C-alpha cells in the first residue's frame, strides 16, 4: 500500500513506486486525500488495485482549534485505515509524506504485522515523517547519510533525456505547475538580453500567470516557448542547457537526472525553509547555484552562464543513480541487505 501526496512532489514519488511495483506484477493500493491533487493523479489509474481518498487535511498553518479538529480527524481516519489493512491483509505500507499520508501511516503503526517504510524527499524531514520514523522498518532519504539507499527515485524518462551541457543556447524557467511569479518576473527582466545573446527561452509560467507572461513576451516581440503546464516536462528540460527553478525535491532531482545545470530560487515559505536546504545540498558539491528571491540579481544570473557548466553537468549525471527505485523496492519486497 502506498500513501502520501497533497502536492506534486509527493505524488511523483508515489507514482514512481506504483510503476515499479506494477512492473514486477503487483497492483498496489493507494490511499490519499480528497483535498489535494491526489484524485486527479490516481483516481483513474489502472495500475492500482484500488485508490481511496479520505477527508484528511493538514495541521500546519491552522489556529489552535483548527489543529485540534484536524488531529481528531486523523485519529478517526487512522482507525478506519487500520480496519482496511486488517480486511485486505496489508503487510507493507510505503509513505511518501505530506498530510495525505497521515491516516494510513498511523494506521500502519496500529496494525499488527504491518511494516512501515518511509521515503523522505527533502533535506529537512517533515514533521509527520519525523514523528513516525521511529516506528518505521526503513527510512529512505537522498540526504541522510544513515539511509541504506541515499538516492531519489526519479522516473526513467528524465535519465533517458539526459545529456552533458557545454554551451548555453536555451534556458528554461521553471516555477512548477502552480507557477512562481518572482521567477516569471525575473525571466521577463532578462529576456531581452538573452535574446540579444542568441539564447532561446522556454518558460513554464503556471496557470494563473500564463496570460500575463505570454502577453509580455509578445509585446517584447520575443518568440519564447511559453506554457502553463505539460505532461512531458522532461522533453522541455532536454532542449535546455541551463535552468532557473524552484527547488522542491522532485524538480531538483529530476533536473539532476537530466544533468541540467540550474540556478535555484527556493520558495521562501516552504516548511522549515526546506527548498533552500535542498538546493544547498547540491551547491555544497559544486553542482548548482542558489539565491533567495531577495538576493537574486541579473549580474549573478549572467555570471552563472559563464561558469564551467560542462563540469557541473557531468557531476550532476554522476550524483544520482537510475536504478534507485529498483534497489529500494528490492529492500521493501525482499528485505535484502546491501
Residue pLDDT, tens place only, 76-88: 999 999 999 999 9
- Assign residue 70 a region (left: φ > 0; alpha: ψ between -120 and 50; beta: otherwise): alpha
Specify whether 299 is located in the same domain as 166.
Answer: yes
Specify whether 13 is located in the same domain as 115.
Answer: yes
Angle 320-325-330 from CA coordinates, rounded to 5°? 130
Q: Does 146 have pLDDT greater than 90?
A: no
Q: Does 89 have pLDDT greater than 80?
A: yes
Specify whether 306 is located in the same domain as 165.
Answer: yes
Task: Provide the pLDDT for residue 50.
Answer: 95
The whole-angstrom separation of Cα 196 and Cα 201 is 12
Point out which residues pair with 50 in neighbouring strands. Answer: 29
Specify whether 55 is located in the same domain as 38.
Answer: yes
Specify whether 178 is located in the same domain as 313.
Answer: yes
Mean pLDDT (the chain, rounded): 92
User: Does residue 102 contact residue 113 with C-beta atoms inside 8 Å?
Assistant: no
| Radius of gyration, alpha carbons of the chain | 21
Q: Does 95 have pLDDT greater than 80?
A: yes
Task: Provide the pLDDT for residue 272.
Answer: 85
The whole-angstrom separation of Cα 14 and Cα 99 is 14
Point out which residues pair with 226 in neighbouring strands. Answer: 203
Task: Provide the pLDDT for residue 212.
Answer: 95
Range of the domain at 23: 2-153+323-334
Query: Could you give the percent of the chain with pLDDT greater than 70?
Result: 97
H helix runs in the chain, sequence order: 8-23, 38-42, 64-88, 102-110, 127-132, 156-160, 181-196, 210-219, 233-239, 249-257, 274-283, 298-304, 309-319, 324-334
Q: Does 297 have pLDDT greater than 90?
A: yes
The whole-angstrom separation of Cα 285 and Cα 287 is 5
Neighbouring C-beta atoms of residue 105, cutoff 10 Å: 28
Return the higher-pLDDT residue of 125 and 94.
Answer: 94
Q: Does 17 have pLDDT greater than 60?
A: yes
Neighbouring C-beta atoms of residue 320, cutoff 10 Å: 23
Task: Provide the pLDDT for residue 126.
Answer: 82
Specify whether 109 is located in the same domain as 56.
Answer: yes
Specify whether 167 is located in the same domain as 139.
Answer: no
Task: Provide the pLDDT for residue 286.
Answer: 96
Per-residue pLDDT tens digits for 247-260: 999 999 999 999 99
Q: Does 337 have pLDDT greater than 50?
A: no
Number of domains in the chain: 2
The stretch 20-31 carries a mean pLDDT of 96
The stretch 218-235 carries a mean pLDDT of 94
Torsion of CA 288, 293, 295, 301, to 10 degrees: 50
User: Does residue 260 contact residue 171 with C-beta atoms inside 8 Å?
Assistant: no
At 49, phi and psi to the nearest 5?
Answer: -70, -40
- pLDDT classification of 335: cutoffs 50, 70, 90: low
Query: Could you give the percent of the chain with pLDDT greater than 90?
Result: 74
The stretch 152-167 carries a mean pLDDT of 93
Specify whether 303 is located in the same domain as 328.
Answer: no
The whole-angstrom separation of Cα 125 and Cα 119 is 10
Specify whether 135 is located in the same domain as 203.
Answer: no
Specify whether 248 is located in the same domain as 218.
Answer: yes
Q: Which CATH number fits the domain that encloses residue 281?
A: 3.40.50.2000
Task: Provide the pLDDT for residue 338.
Answer: 45
Task: Provide the pLDDT for residue 318.
Answer: 92
- pLDDT classification of 330: cutoffs 50, 70, 90: very high
For 54-84, b where at least 16 C-beta lie within 10 A, e where not — what string? bebbbbeeeeeeeeeebeebbeebbebbbeb
Specify whether 111 is located in the same domain as 173.
Answer: no
The whole-angstrom separation of Cα 93 and Cα 250 is 21
Neighbouring C-beta atoms of residue 302, cutoff 10 Å: 13
Specify whether 161 is located in the same domain as 200.
Answer: yes
Task: Provide the pLDDT for residue 177.
Answer: 61
Q: Is 275 exposed, middle or buried (0-12, 13-18, 19+ CB in 10 A)?
A: buried
Return the higher-pLDDT residue of 96 and 231.
Answer: 96
Closest CA to 33 of 20, 21, 42, 46: 42
Q: Is 299 exposed, middle or buried (0-12, 13-18, 19+ CB in 10 A)?
A: exposed
Amino acid at each position: 500500500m502506498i500513501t502520501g501526496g497533497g502536492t506534486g512532489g509527493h505524488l511523483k514519488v508515489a507514482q514512481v513506486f506504483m510503476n515499479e511495483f506494477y512492473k514486477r506484477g503487483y497492483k498496489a493500493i493507494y490511499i490519499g486525500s480528497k483535498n489535494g491533487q491526489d484524485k486527479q493523479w490516481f483516481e483513474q489509474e489502472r495500475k492500482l488495485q484500488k485508490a481511496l481518498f479520505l477527508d484528511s487535511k493538514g495541521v500546519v498553518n491552522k489556529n489552535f482549534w483548527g489543529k485540534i479538529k484536524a488531529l481528531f480527524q486523523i485519529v478517526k481516519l487512522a482507525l478506519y485505515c487500520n480496519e482496511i489493512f486488517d480486511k485486505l491483509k496489508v503487510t507493507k505500507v510505503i509513505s511518501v509524506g505530506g498530510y495525505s499520508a497521515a491516516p494510513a501511516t498511523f494506521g500502519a503503526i496500529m496494525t499488527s504485522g504491518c511494516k512501515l517504510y518511509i521515503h523522505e524527499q527533502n533535506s529537512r524531514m517533515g514533521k509527520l515523517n519525523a514523528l513516525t520514523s521511529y516506528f518505521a522498518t526503513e527510512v529512505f532519504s537522498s540526504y541522510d547519510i544513515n539511509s541504506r539507499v541515499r538516492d531519489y527515485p526519479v522516473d526513467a524518462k528524465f535519465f533517458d533525456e539526459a545529456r552533458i551541457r557545454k554551451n548555453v543556447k536555451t534556458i528554461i524557467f521553471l516555477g512548477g505547475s502552480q507557477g512562481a511569479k518572482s521567477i516569471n518576473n525575473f525571466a521577463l527582466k532578462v529576456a531581452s538580453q538573452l535574446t540579444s545573446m542568441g539564447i532561446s527561452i522556454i518558460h513554464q509560467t503556471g496557470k494563473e500567470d500564463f496570460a500575463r507572461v505570454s502577453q509580455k513576451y509578445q509585446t517584447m516581440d520575443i518568440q519564447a516557448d511559453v506554457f502553463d503546464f505539460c505532461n512531458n516536462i522532461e522533453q522541455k528540460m532536454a532542449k535546455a542547457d541551463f535552468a532557473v527553478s524552484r527547488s522542491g525535491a522532485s524538480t531538483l532531482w529530476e533536473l539532476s537526472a537530466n544533468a541540467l545545470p540550474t540556478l535555484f530560487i527556493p520558495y521562501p515559505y516552504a516548511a522549515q525553509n526546506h527548498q533552500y536546504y535542498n538546493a544547498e545540498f547540491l551547491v555544497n558539491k559544486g553542482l548548482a547555484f542558489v539565491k533567495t528571491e531577495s538576493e537574486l540579481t541579473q549580474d549573478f544570473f549572467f555570471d552563472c552562464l559563464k561558469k564551467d557548466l560542462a563540469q557541473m553537468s557531468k557531476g550532476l549525471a554522476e550524483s544520482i543513480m537510475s536504478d534507485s527505485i529498483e534497489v529500494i523496492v528490492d529492500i521493501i519486497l525482499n528485505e535484502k541487505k546491501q
